[in-house]
Amino acid sequence: MTGRDRAIALWQAGVDAVGGYESVARTLKENGGERPDRILAVGKAAGAMTRAALDHYGHVPALVVTKDGHGEGLPDGVELIESSHPVPDARSLKGGRALVEAVEAMTTGAHLLLLVSGGASALAEDLVEGKTLDDLAALNRQLLASGKDIGAINVERRRISRVKGGGLLSLGSSIAMALFGAPGRATGGPVSAGRAYRVGERGPEWFVPTASGRVETGGAVRNIAITVNVRGGGTEEPKRLAQTGRQLAQAVRRAVAAGDA
């Protein structure tokens, strides 16, 4: 084997190790958990990820939304929707609607395995009321030409989406992960009716408002200056230090209370 052949073999081994099939197969082997009642997969690697899950669990009802030509090799019985990437089309709306309906149909206590890979943002979409496919396509063309990174692009896409930004969570069954991640509001920000938002006051929670409004923080960080003078020495020092500690605690409480008033 030549040096070039070895380099190619190493590169291919690295690519294979992070491929959709290999990644899911390895994860399920290490920590597969209970057999799911439903598998939903979306993204360019959705087909490969689903094949790995089915090889691990056996037959499970599955829906795959993926790019044209990326659904080959799926077992019979898997529902396949091939969609458009990177600019969405009518099939993207079909794929998004199918995912929403699948989540809505799940019963309490059902176990869902959700597999998401790159490309999901364009392949599956369910638009907010008043927005059309032309609006979606125009927005995506504009964003792709803007030079923004995928994080910034997805922030803009969320504005017209019912599934991005955790919107899928508000539609019914509780699932381990929301499509495309739910936006956080621990530092404040606007909220919209029917959307899920992550808040962090007491650990991760899901907040689903019933009307539009805002989430406000507890206020800006305040600097509180307290001056402590300690005088004394000898055998009186321990007593004076204890007294000073109590006085300091009282001063902090008064300062915080005054700031909250």
Question: Model confidence over 66-88: pLDDT tens digits?
Answer: 999 999 899 999 999 999 888 88
Pairwise CA distance, residues 64 & 82, whole Å: 8
Q: 147-199 pLDDT, tens per residue?
A: 888 778 877 877 788 776 655 544 433 343 334 444 555 556 666 665 556 56
To which residue do tokens 């059309």 refer?
Answer: 132
To which residue do tokens 């001056």 refer?
Answer: 227
Domain coordinates of the chain in residue numbers? 3-182, 184-221, 222-261
Q: What are phi and psi for residue 257, nearest 5 degrees?
A: -60, -40
Residue of 188, 105, 202, 92 whose CA lies nearest to 140: 92
Q: Please give the CATH number for the structural domain made up of 3-182.
A: 3.40.50.10180
Overall pTM > 0.75: no
57, amino acid identity: Y
> Which residues is 127 bridged to in the sheet?
161
Residue 132 burial (CB count, 10 A): 11
